[in-house]
Amino acid sequence: MVRKTTPINVTIEIYKLIEQNRLSFEENHDDILRRMLGLPIHSEKPEIKGEFYLGEGVSVPFGTILRKVYKGMEYLAEVKDGGIWINGKKYPTVNQAANAISDSKNQNAWKFWEVKRPQDSEWILLHDLRPKLTDAELAEFE
């Protein structure tokens, strides 16, 4: 089914609000506005398969979005095709992706990024996805 669309002009303030509500780079503006307004979404979205290993026992599915507000600007990255993509450039690690947008090359990427996997409804700190050590494992370090 082909739907007729009409371009609309919006202020930068409205455009930023629409973009802040984007759940993935595959989502178009019509879908975002429909979701924001509580209207049915009609777009066909391809199922994203695969996952990417970030390190330290953490893998996330393709379609995961990473977010960072840095110096007043919001940066979004998407996990897909075996990497972390920011503005069309692929980074092989969360550290390299963090360094690409920050002034410092000593960022702790695990505490730098917030993440929203396709199954998540809220943003969470990437650090919180790391496996937790059990009491027995902690005792080994004492």
Over residues 20-40, the pLDDT tens digits come to 877 766 677 887 888 788 777
Mean of per-residue pLDDT scores for the chain: 83
Q: What is the pLDDT of residues 94-132, one digit of tens each?
A: 999 999 998 777 788 999 999 999 999 899 999 999 887
Q: What is the mean pLDDT of residues 59-71?
A: 93
Q: Is the pTM of this model over 0.75?
A: no
Considering only residues 134 and 65, tell me which one the structure prediction assigns the higher pLDDT.
65
What is the Cα–Cα distance from 64 to 10, expressed in whole angstroms? 28
Residues in the chain: 142
How far, CA to CA in Å, does 136 sit from each of 45, 58, 94, 97, 141? 44, 21, 29, 34, 9
- Neighbouring residues of 110: CB distance < 8 A, sequence distance ≥ 6: 56, 94, 125, 126, 127, 130
Half-sphere exposure for 25 (CA within 13 Å, toward CB) = 18
